[in-house]
Structure 1
Amino acid sequence: MDAEIIQQVQVQAEDLDHWRIKKVLKKSDVDGSSRLLIGRRQVLTNITPFFTNNPSQFCQDKDGIRVTVFDIDTLTEHMLTLKKWKTNSFVLLNNWKKNFVSRRQLKDNDEVGLRWDVNASRLEFTVLEWHQN
């Protein structure tokens, strides 16, 4: 079993139309950059409120914050780092490429969804649409 998988769990039926953050992957999200770029507004609106009442203080630590990312398609959990860049955009780092791009065979123009699960205190991930070549 892959050491990066924290645990495998069962989930109940998902509301697939309820994805708060939708992202069509760019080349830089799936190449050697090893990070998923997430827009500032999307994070501040859909993730920050679950951490703080002061969005300007969210993720100020230069190391970012460790978050559990649950892949609802494969029922696996992975630890990644959510970090704020100097540009005020956010990125998911530390094994993004290994745990998601390579493992799920993600490509440029695939669409993924993210949402914060309040009950489990984790970020959920799914592939919404595979790009047809």
Structure 2
Amino acid sequence: MEAEIIQQVQAQAEDLADHWRIKKVLKISDVDSSSRLLIGRKQVFTHIIPFFTNNPSEFCQNIEGIRVTFFDVDTLTEHMLTLKKWKTNSFVLLNNWTKNFVSKRQLKVNDEIGLRWDVNASRFEFTVLERHQN
């Protein structure tokens, strides 16, 4: 009986982890003075663009990028960031990434974060999935 309960709890934890559609192990450029979070192009096309447009080629064409709301589910705080497409076709989150996430959450290289789109609230959600042990 105890083994069944432990398996159910483990399965529920795995299900919750799978809800984080974008998972990223932070690199030095994500937490240093570059002041931006680089998000993989494939992840953006798969997990972000469908919530904004039916035409991926139109997404993020504005030179200023698009303002998006980020909700930190761990601290229950909300922040505004800018999602921007660089000329290299890479996607980055800018404007207060370092202040509101790297500094406040003390993010380090090799920490793993999760991002997902909350359809009901029309915002991104953020969490720290795992802290890297030095």
The TM-score, its normalising length taken from structure 2, stands at 0.87
Is there any run of 5+ residues in structure 1 with no aligned partner, and where?
1-13
**TM superposition score normalised by structure 1:** 0.88
Matching of residues 1-133 of structure 1 within 5 Å: 15-133=16-134
Alpha-carbon distance between aligned partners in 2 of 1:92 and 1:55, rounded to the nearest angstrom? 18
What is the deviation of 1:87?
A: 1.2
Larger radius of gyration: 2
Structure ranking higher in helix proportion = 2
Give the superposition deviation at 1:89.
Answer: 1.1
SS in 2 for 1:63: coil
Distance 1:74 1:45 in 2: 27
Distance in 2, Cα, partners of 1:94 & 1:132: 28
State the partner residue of 2:5.
Answer: none
Superposed CA offset, 1:63-98 (max 9, x none)? 000000000000110000000011111000000000
Q: Aligned pair count?
A: 120
CA–CA distance in structure 1, aligned partners of residues 127 and 103 of structure 2? 15
Query: What is the Cα-based RMSD across aligned positions, in Å?
Result: 1.1
Please list the CA deviations of residues 92-119 of structure 1 after superposition, one character each: whole Å capped at 9, or x if unmatched.
0000000000000000000000011111
CA distance in 1, matches of 2:53, 2:103: 33
CA distance in 2, matches of 1:51, 1:69: 15
Could you tell me which amino acid in structure 2 is paired with residue 92 of structure 1? L
* Residues 1-39 of structure 1: CA deviation (Å, up to 9, x unaligned): xxxxxxxxxxxxx93331100000000000000000001
> In structure 1, what is the Cα distance between the partners aligned to 2:130 and 2:19?
15
What residue ranges of structure 2 are gaps of 5+ in the alignment? 1-14
